[in-house]
C-alpha cells in the first residue's frame, strides 16, 4: 500500500518535473489539461461534488488535485481517488485504475461535503485547474459515480474462484464490525451508532450477531427475528452489507439448533431476498464436533435459504470455534477439501484472537486462503476471551495477509461491554455519543483506523 502510494507520488513528481503537458508550451489548437468541478447535488447540510480531469496534452497524465474548503465544512466520503488532508486543504490522487489519464481522455472522482461552500484554489499537479490553454471544446461530462455507499458501488456479491467479488466481477474486501450479542448490547446498535459506523468509520459491513442460547433466539424467536429484521433495514438504509450471524456457540454441534435455524433463515431469506446486501452466516463457532457433522448441517440448511434467496452468499463455520481445526488437530482444511459443502457461492469462516492465536493459526489460515474461499467473520486484537491486553503487532500480520489476499473481515465487537475487545468504553451507549475517538478503548482506536481506509472497490 505504502509502496504503491509513493510510486504514484513519484510518478506525479516525474510528470511535473518532465514538464509534460502542464509546463509545455502547447500549440494554440491544443485542448487544456483541466480539473473541472461540478456540484452534483445539494441537500442543505451537505453536497455531492465531482472533479473531471481532462488530459489535453499528448502524453499520459498522472494527476493530483488539491483545493481548500471553507472552515466549517469537511469531507464525509469520497470515491475513485485517494485523499490526504491537512486542515482545510485536501489533496486527491488517483486509484490504480484512474491514476493515469491517456491523452484526450478524462477521469472523474467524487466526494460528499458537509456544511455549505465548495472548493476554492484548485490546483492540478501544482498549477491552476483551469488549464494553461483555451479549451477547444467544453469539458466533457462523464457519467456520475454509480453510488457512494459500499452496497451502491458493489451490488450483489458473489464468490468467484476463491474471492468475494462484486456485481462487476471484481474481487473486493469488506471490512466492518460485529455487534455484540443482541440479547445484551442492542442498545449499542441504533441510528446514531450506525451513522458513525457507516459515515465516519467508513465500514462496508455490519455483522448482526444473534446468539441462540444464553438468553438469545431460543427464548423469543419472534422477538429476535424482528430485531434482526430491524437491523438489516438499518444497515440497508446506510448502504452497508449485513451478515446475519447465527451465533451458535454452546452446544457446539450446529445440528442441535438445526430446526430453529431452518425456521429463522427461511423467514429472513424470504423477507430480504430482493435486497443485494445480505450474507448468511449459518454457524458462528462449531466445537467438539466433526467436520462431517458441520457439513451435514450446512447441506441441509443452505437449500432452505437458497429456495428463497438463490444468490445470497452463505458463510460456513469451521471446526474448533471456526479455527479451521487449528484449535484441534490442525487437519480442518484437508477435511474440508476432501468433503466440501455441497453448494456453490459459499465461503468458509476463520476466527482469530491475536493475543491467543500464534504462528500456527496464521500458517493454517494462510494455507486455507490458498485453497478455499475464506471470510474472517470475527476476530479480536486481544485474547480469545475477548479481553486482556492487545497484540496489535500480531493482529497487523493477519490484516496484512488479508489485505494482500482480499479476504474480508469483521472485528468483534461494536459495544461498550467492559472487556478490552468491546470498542467503546463502558457507559458510551447509554450516553449515546459515538463519534470521534474520545469514547473508544485502545482496540477501538486501532480498528477504527483500519476500517476508515476502505478497499478500493
Ligand atoms: C463473548 C462475549 C462475552 C460472552 C461470551 C460467551 O464477549 O460477553 O459472555 O462470548 O457468550 C468468540 C465468540 C464470541 C465471544 C468472543 C470473545 O464467537 O461469542 O464473545 N469469542 O470471547 N469466539 C472466540 C472469542
Average pLDDT for runs of 10 along the chain of length 457:
39 39 38 88 83 90 92 86 88 87 91 88 90 42 54 95 95 97 98 95 97 98 98 96 98 98 98 97 98 98 98 98 95 97 98 95 96 98 97 97 96 98 98 96 97 79
Separation of CA 384 and ligand 1 centre (Å): 8
Name beta bridge partners: 93.
64, 82
Q: Taking the model in full, what pTM does it have?
A: 0.72
State the pLDDT at residue 77: 84
Q: What pLDDT does 256 receive? A: 98
Q: How far is the CA of 22 from the centre of ligand 1 (A)?
A: 58
**Ligand 1 nearest-atom number relative to CA 413:** 7
Q: Which pLDDT does position 141 carry in this prediction?
A: 36
Nearest-angstrom CA–CA distance, 323 and 358: 12
For a pocket test of ligand 1, which of 178, 179, 181 has the largest count of ligand atoms closer than 8 A to its C-beta? 181
> Which ligand 1 atom is the nearest neighbour of the CA of 250?
11
State the closest ligand 1 atom to the C-alpha of 422, by its place in the atom list counted from 1: 7
Residue labelled with grid coordinates 480531469: 53
- What's the sign of the alpha-carbon dihedral 381, 383, 384, 387? negative
| 386 CA → ligand 1 middle, Å | 6
Q: Could you give the residue range(s) of every CATH 3.20.20.80 domain in the chain?
A: 150-451
Spacing, Cα 274 to ligand 1 middle (Å): 32
Domain with CATH 2.60.40.290 in the chain: 6-141
Mutate to test the pocket of ligand 1, among 180, 249, 252, 441 (most ligand atoms within 8 A of CB): 249
Joined together, the cell numbers standing for residue 224 give: 429476535
C-alpha to C-alpha distance for 348 and 283, rounded to whole angstroms: 10
Nearest CA to ligand 1 atom 22: 385
Q: Which atom of ligand 1 is nearest to the CA of 384?
A: 25
Decide if 298 contacts 316 (C-beta within 8 A). Answer: yes
Query: Which region, left, alpha or beta, applies to residue 318 given φ > 0 means left and ψ of -120 to 50 means alpha?
Result: beta
**C-alpha cell, 40:** 452534483
For 125: left if phi > 0, alpha if psi spans -120 to 50, otherwise beta; the answer is: left
Count CB atoms within 10 A of the CB of residue 192. Answer: 12
- Collapsing DSSP to helix, strand or coil, 109 comes out as strand
Catalytic residue positions?
Answer: 285, 378
Class of domain 6-141: mainly beta
Instruction: Give the strand pairing for 46-54 and 34-42.
Output: antiparallel
Ligand 1-lining residues (CB < 6 angstroms) = 214, 249, 284-285, 321, 351, 353, 378, 384-386, 412, 417, 419
421 Cα to the center of ligand 1, angstroms? 10
Q: What is the CB neighbour count within 10 angstroms for residue 453?
A: 12
Atom of ligand 1 nearest to the CA of 385: 22
C-alpha 103 to ligand 1 mean position (Å): 56
CA distances 83 to 231, 336, 390, 425, 453, Å, are: 31, 42, 29, 30, 10
Nearest CA-CA partner of 20 in 56, 53, 59: 59
Q: Which of 386, 421, 443 to mutate to test the pocket of ligand 1 (most atoms within 8 A of CB)?
A: 386
Q: Smallest Cα–Cα separation from 376: which of 355, 342, 399, 357? A: 399
Superfamily of domain 150-451: Glycosidases (3.20.20.80)
Note the pLDDT of residue 121: 92
Question: DSSP assignment, residue 381?
Answer: S
Amino acid at each position: 500500500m505504502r509502496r504503491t502510494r509513493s510510486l504514484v507520488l513519484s510518478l506525479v513528481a516525474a510528470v511535473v518535473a518532465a514538464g509534460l503537458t502542464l509546463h509545455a508550451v502547447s500549440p494554440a489548437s491544443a485542448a487544456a489539461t483541466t480539473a473541472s468541478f461540478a456540484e452534483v447535488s445539494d441537500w442543505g447540510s451537505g453536497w455531492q461534488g465531482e472533479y473531471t480531469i481532462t488530459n489535453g496534452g499528448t502524453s499520459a497524465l498522472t494527476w493530483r488535485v488539491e483545493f481548500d474548503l471553507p472552515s466549517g465544512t469537511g469531507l464525509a466520503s469520497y470515491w475513485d481517488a485517494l485523499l490526504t488532508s491537512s486542515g482545510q486543504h485536501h489533496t486527491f490522487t488517483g486509484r490504480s485504475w484512474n491514476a493515469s489519464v491517456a491523452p484526450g481522455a478524462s477521469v472523474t472522482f467524487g466526494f460528499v461535503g458537509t456544511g455549505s461552500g465548495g472548493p476554492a484554489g484548485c490546483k492540478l499537479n501544482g498549477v491552476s485547474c483551469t488549464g494553461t490553454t483555451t479549451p477547444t471544446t467544453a469539458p466533457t461530462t462523464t457519467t456520475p459515480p454509480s453510488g457512494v455507499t459500499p452496497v451502491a458501488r458493489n451490488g450483489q456479491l458473489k464468490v468467484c474462484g476463491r474471492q468475494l467479488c462484486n456485481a462487476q466481477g471484481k474481487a473486493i474486501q469488506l471490512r466492518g464490525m460485529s455487534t455484540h450479542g443482541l440479547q445484551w448490547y442492542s442498545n449499542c446498535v441504533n441510528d446514531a451508532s450506525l451513522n458513525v459506523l457507516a459515515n465516519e468509520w467508513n465500514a462496508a459491513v455490519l455483522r448482526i450477531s444473534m446468539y441462540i442460547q444464553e438468553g438469545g433466539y431460543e427464548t423469543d424467536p419472534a422477538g429476535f427475528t424482528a430485531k434482526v429484521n430491524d437491523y438489516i433495514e438499518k444497515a440497508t438504509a446506510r448502504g452497508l452489507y449485513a451478515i446475519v450471524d447465527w451465533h451458535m456457540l454452546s452446544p457446539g454441534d450446529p445440528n442441535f439448533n438445526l430446526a430453529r435455524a431452518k425456521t429463522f433463515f427461511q423467514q429472513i431469506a424470504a423477507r430480504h431476498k430482493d435486497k443485494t446486501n445480505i450474507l448468511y452466516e449459518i454457524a458462528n463457532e462449531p466445537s467438539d464436533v466433526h467436520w462431517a457433522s458441520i457439513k451435514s448441517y450446512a447441506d441441509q440448511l443452505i437449500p432452505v435459504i437458497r429456495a428463497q434467496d438463490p444468490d445470497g452468499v452463505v458463510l460456513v463455520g469451521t471446526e474448533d470455534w471456526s479455527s479451521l481445526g487449528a484449535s484441534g488437530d490442525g487437519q480442518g482444511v484437508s477435511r474440508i477439501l476432501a468433503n466440501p459443502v455441497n453448494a456453490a457461492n459459499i465461503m468458509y469462516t476463520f476466527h482469530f484472537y491475536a493475543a491467543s492465536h500464534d504462528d500456527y493459526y496464521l500458517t493454517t489460515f494462510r494455507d486455507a486462503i490458498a485453497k478455499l474461499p475464506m471470510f474472517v467473520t470475527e476476530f479480536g486484537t486481544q485474547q480469545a476471551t475477548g479481553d486482556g491486553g492487545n497484540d496489535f503487532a500480531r493482529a497487523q500480520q493477519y490484516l496484512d495477509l488479508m489485505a494482500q489476499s482480499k479476504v474480508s473481515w469483521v472485528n468483534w465487537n461494536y459495544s461498550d461491554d467492559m472487556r478490552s475487545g468491546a470498542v467503546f468504553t463502558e457507559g458510551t451507549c447509554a450516553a449515546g455519543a459515538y463519534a470521534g475517538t474520545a469514547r473508544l478503548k485502545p482496540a477501538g482506536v486501532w480498528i477504527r483506523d483500519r476500517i476508515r481506509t476502505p478497499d478500493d472497490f
